[in-house]
Structure formats: structure tokens, C-alpha cells
């Protein structure tokens, strides 16, 4: 007779571990668990993920950078961390010119140093806090002959300096004056705050990956008099209204969920995926670099298109529909989207509102198209599940596949009442273009040559 087996889930520092054990065989189960945990323990990239979390705090919480600016900072940090670790691991091609690295240098020390040095260059006023984190990080890294701490520090410092030099004068923070419209179809600040874009210059930043932002040109909004425009208009007018009778409670939650700071949320997902898949330190560094670099170029391309088309938001379009010359649209001067201060969010979160910049394409979905496309290339499958918690909604949502997450992200912006569906789809396509370009031109295995 075959022995009866039960599956026991053990929650460890490395996630939930499933172990097949004989009923009653507790000693054998304990030995099996210890052996399994020991075999996967080195695979968790503590220093890489810890410094990604440190970066998120520095960029999003302390500096308060808005998403399209924050992702540029994330890309610089994670690109440098990858190059530092990869210079020692040598498993893939470097992103920027590969720094020198001594054989056997500590990958953990390299990661901590690269992240620290780039963050200090970006946020010199945070140096005291960052230095304290760095000292604590280095103190946890053993200095053994097999993992020279000094060698890792040197590699990390070199990678950081290469990144800082590469991004000097790249257009960040450059002058840009948005055009405020007064005619049908043209963007203008929206109620209730009538706020201005805090970073309209993002679209003029030099891309990290693609050779020219022109290759990310999107199709733009539908003509105001077209059937396609009327279809989008009437969809968002119905389901995106503050008191919509067609939007479900779950759709309302999803809309608010995805309004969390996009790159704080996505980087939490990346850290979770690295732990769930027991990624080695070099693979975690590559995961964080590829996703943040593609997201950065997606933001640059997105903002470049936003100000090229300068298209109005649904709240303006619906309230002023009597000016659009489309017989299939009807004005509602009091229409209000779900994203309004009256909508409840988690404690301590800023109230919801229509974002203060042009509508087409969708910034969140430029990012989602880039990130989820990159994750699909990285894992080689769409069947990657994850669970995430949003600070904005205070709720947790689980996705069984990457495409499930993408579809919800697409719909969420329409449910929120802040985007026409065309802008959302165009954003996804733009992001997917960046992901495909990275897959074809960057981060190839070290033994692979161009044309292979």
C-alpha cells in the first residue's frame, strides 16, 4: 500500500513552503523542512530588496516625488544596482558599461553601495538617513574570503558613478510651460482644485532604453465628432460617474486600489515576486532593473504624447459636450467622476481628484503595459500570480495572471471616470513597445551575441 501523504504549508522568512510528509512522520518532516529552507535561503536577495524598499521610502515618502518623476529615480537606482551585482555575477550583459569587479566580491555590498550612492546623489538632504541605513546594511554582510566586502563596495561605487554620469544633463527638471486650452477637446485644469502638472517636463527627458522618444508616438485621441469618441464618452459618463448605477462595489474598489502611487505599489509587487520565486540576488537585481527602466521610458513617452495631443479630461468633455459638435454626446454641466474628494479613501491618504495633466495616453497604463510586458518576458509566461495591497484603498487584491492584472488596470481608469478607453489602450501599447525593445536589445545572457 502506498504511504498516505499530506501537504503542509510552512511559512518561513522566504515565503510559504509546501512539503510533502508522511502522516505521523514529524521528525522526517522537520528534517525535510530544514533541508528545503537551507537550500532556498541563499536565493532570497535580502540586500537588493531591502535597498529597493529604502529607495521607495526616499523617493516616494521623504522626497514626495510624483509617479512620473519617481520612476526616473527608481530606474537610476535599480539600473546601477543591477550593473554592480552583474559585474560580479557576469550572467547577463550590463546595462551601462560594466564596472570592474574583483573575483569573489560581495554582491550584497555591491548592491547596497550602488543604491546608497545613487540615492545620495539624487537626494543630498537625505544623506544622514541614507548613510545610517548603509552602515547598518554593511554591518550585516560578512567579510569572508569567498565574498570580499571591499571588492563589492568598489564595484557598487563604480556602477553608481557611471549611472550618475550617464544621467547628468538628461533633461530632468527642465523648463516646460503647459498650454492651457479654452477650445473643445483641449486640456485645461479641472475641478475641484484646478491643479497644475507638477512635472510637465518628463516628456522631454532623454530615454533610458529606446533611441528616440519618437518611436513611442501613440495615435492620439479620437476626433470629437467620431463614433469612437462618442462610444468612449458615453461609457465613461455612465460607469465613471461619482454615483454610477452601473459600476459595482468591486469595480469601485479596483479603481481606487490602482490610484495608489504607481511605482511604490509596483515595486512592492516586484519585491514580493522575488521572494515568492526564490530569485537569486543577481536575478532579483535584473528583475528590478528591467521593470523600472521600461516603466521610466514608458513615462517619458507617455508625457511626451500627453503634451503633444493636450486632450481634455472626461470631466471637462462631459460638462462641455454641447461644444463638441457630436450629436451622440449630451452635456451634463454637473457631472462628477468617481475620483472626487467625496469618495472615501484609506485613512491618511490624500483625497481623489482628476489628475492635473492632459488625458491621452493613460500614464498608469503606459506603466502597466511596460511592467507587465517585462514581467512576462522575465518569467517566460503569463501565468504569474501575485497579491498586492494598496495604500490608497487600504484593500488587498489578488491576480491569477499578468493579463488579469493588466485588464483590471485598463478598466480601472474608466471606472474612475478620469480616462476614455482609447487613451488607456494606447497607453498599454506604448508600454508594450518599450518592454519589447528592452527584451530585444538589453539584458541578454552573457553568452548570447546580437543576431543569435
Query: What does the DSSP assignment read for 90-109?
Result: --B--SSSPPP--TTB-HHH
Q: What is the pLDDT of residues 93-145, one digit of tens each?
A: 999 999 999 889 999 999 999 999 999 999 999 999 999 999 999 999 988 77
Closest C-alpha among 329, 351, 332 to residue 341: 351
Q: Please, are residues 166 and 131 in contact by the beta-carbon 8 Å criterion?
A: no
Q: Which of 26-40, 251-265, 310-324 has the lowest mean pLDDT?
A: 26-40
Given the DSSP bridges, would you call strands 386-389 and 396-399 parallel, antiparallel or unpaired?
Answer: antiparallel
pLDDT at 390 over 70: yes
Q: Please, are residues 427 and 369 in contact by the beta-carbon 8 Å criterion?
A: yes
Given the DSSP bridges, would you call strands 15-22 and 396-399 parallel, antiparallel or unpaired?
Answer: unpaired
Of residues 318 and 449, the one with the higher pLDDT is 318
Mean pLDDT, rounded, of the chain:
90
- Point out which residues pair with 15 in neighbouring strands: 12
Q: What is d(CA 305, CA 429) in angstroms, rounded to the nearest whole number? A: 13
Q: What is d(CA 341, CA 67) in angstroms, rounded to the nearest whole number? A: 20
Which percentage of the chain shows pLDDT scores above 70?
A: 89
Instruction: Quickly state the pLDDT bin for 232 (edges 50, 70, 90).
Output: very high
pLDDT at 34 over 70: no
Within 10 angstroms of residue 49's Cβ, the number of other Cβ atoms is 23
Over range 187-194, report the average pLDDT.
97
Within 10 angstroms of residue 295's Cβ, the number of other Cβ atoms is 32
Q: Which three cell numbers stand for residue 97?
A: 558599461
Q: State the residue for C-alpha cell 522631454.
A: 204
pLDDT on residue 146 = 67
Instruction: State the sign of the Cα–Cα–Cα–Cα dihedral 296, 402, 53, 59.
Output: positive
pLDDT on residue 210 = 98
Helices (H), 90-141: 107-122, 127-139
Over range 227-239, report the average pLDDT.
98
Fold topology of 46-166: Vanadium-containing Chloroperoxidase; domain 1 (1.20.144)
Q: What are the residue ranges spanned by the domains of the chain?
A: 5-43, 46-166, 200-441
Instruction: Quickly state the pLDDT bin for 301 (edges 50, 70, 90).
Output: very high
pLDDT on residue 448 = 52
pLDDT on residue 251 = 98
Instruction: List, in order, residues 6 or more apart from 191 with CB less than 8 Å away.
Output: 315
pTM of the entire predicted model: 0.89
Instruction: Quickly state the pLDDT bin for 435 (edges 50, 70, 90).
Output: very high
pLDDT on residue 143 = 81
Ordered DSSP codes for 351-385:
PP---SS--SS-HHHHHHHHHHHHHHHHHTSS---
pLDDT on residue 280 = 96
Distances (CA, A) of 230 to 13, 25, 182: 52, 67, 21
Q: Which of 16-30, 104-118, 273-287, 293-307 has the lowest mean pLDDT?
A: 16-30
Instruction: Quickly state the pLDDT bin for 19 (edges 50, 70, 90).
Output: very low
CATH 1.10.606.10 fits 200-441, yes or no: yes
Within 10 angstroms of residue 97's Cβ, the number of other Cβ atoms is 10
Amino acid at each position: 500500500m502506498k504511504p498516505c501523504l499530506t501537504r503542509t504549508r510552512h511559512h518561513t522568512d522566504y515565503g510559504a513552503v509546501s512539503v510533502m510528509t508522511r502522516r505521523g512522520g514529524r521528525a522526517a518532516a522537520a528534517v525535510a523542512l530544514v533541508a528545503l529552507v537551507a537550500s532556498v535561503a541563499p536565493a532570497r536577495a535580502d540586500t537588493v530588496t531591502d535597498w529597493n524598499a529604502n529607495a521607495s521610502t526616499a523617493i516616494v515618502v521623504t522626497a514626495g516625488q510624483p509617479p512620473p518623476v519617481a520612476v526616473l529615480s527608481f530606474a537610476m537606482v535599480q539600473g546601477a544596482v543591477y550593473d554592480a551585482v552583474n559585474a560580479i555575477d557576469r550572467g547577463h550583459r550590463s546595462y551601462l558599461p560594466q564596472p570592474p569587479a574583483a573575483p569573489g566580491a560581495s554582491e550584497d555590498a555591491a548592491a547596497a553601495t550602488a543604491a546608497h550612492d545613487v540615492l545620495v546623489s539624487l537626494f543630498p538632504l537625505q544623506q544622514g538617513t541614507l548613510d545610517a541605513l548603509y552602515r547598518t546594511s554593511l554591518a550585516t554582510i560578512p567579510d569572508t574570503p569567498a565574498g570580499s566586502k571591499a571588492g563589492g563596495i568598489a564595484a557598487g561605487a563604480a556602477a553608481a558613478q557611471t549611472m550618475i554620469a550617464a544621467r547628468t544633463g538628461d533633461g530632468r527638471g527642465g523648463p516646460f510651460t503647459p498650454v492651457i486650452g479654452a477650445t473643445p477637446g483641449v486640456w485645461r485644469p479641472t475641478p475641484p482644485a484646478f491643479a497644475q502638472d507638477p512635472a510637465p517636463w518628463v516628456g522631454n527627458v532623454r530615454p533610458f532604453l529606446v533611441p528616440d522618444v519618437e518611436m513611442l508616438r501613440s495615435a492620439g485621441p479620437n476626433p470629437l465628432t467620431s463614433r469612437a469618441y462618442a462610444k468612449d464618452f458615453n461609457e465613461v459618463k455612465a460607469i465613471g460617474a461619482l454615483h454610477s448605477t452601473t459600476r459595482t462595489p468591486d469595480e469601485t474598489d479596483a479603481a481606487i486600489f490602482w490610484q495608489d502611487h504607481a511605482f511604490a505599489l509596483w515595486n512592492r509587487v516586484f519585491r514580493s515576486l522575488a521572494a515568492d520565486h526564490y530569485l537569486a540576488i543577481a536575478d532579483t537585481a535584473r528583475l528590478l532593473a528591467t521593470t523600472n527602466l521600461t516603466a521610466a521610458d514608458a513615462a517619458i513617452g507617455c508625457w511626451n504624447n500627453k503634451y503633444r495631443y493636450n486632450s481634455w479630461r472626461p470631466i471637462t468633455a462631459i460638462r462641455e459636450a454641447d461644444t463638441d459638435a457630436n450629436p451622440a454626446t449630451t452635456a451634463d454641466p454637473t457631472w462628477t467622476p468617481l475620483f472626487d474628494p467625496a469618495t472615501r479613501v484609506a485613512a491618511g491618504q490624500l483625497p481623489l481628484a482628476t489628475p492635473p495633466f492632459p488625458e491621452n495616453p493613460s500614464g498608469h497604463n503606459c506603466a502597466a503595459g511596460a511592467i507587465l510586458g517585462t514581467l512576462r518576458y522575465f518569467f517566460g509566461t503569463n501565468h504569474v500570480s501575485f497579491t498586492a495591497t494598496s495604500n490608497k484603498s487600504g484593500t488587498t487584491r489578488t491576480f491569477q495572471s499578468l493579463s488579469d492584472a493588466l485588464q483590471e488596470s485598463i478598466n480601472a481608469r474608466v471606472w474612475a471616470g478620469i480616462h476614455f478607453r482609447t487613451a488607456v489602450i494606447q497607453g498599454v501599447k506604448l508600454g508594450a513597445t518599450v518592454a519589447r525593445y528592452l527584451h530585444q536589445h538589453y539584458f541578454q545572457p552573457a553568452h548570447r551575441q546580437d543576431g543569435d
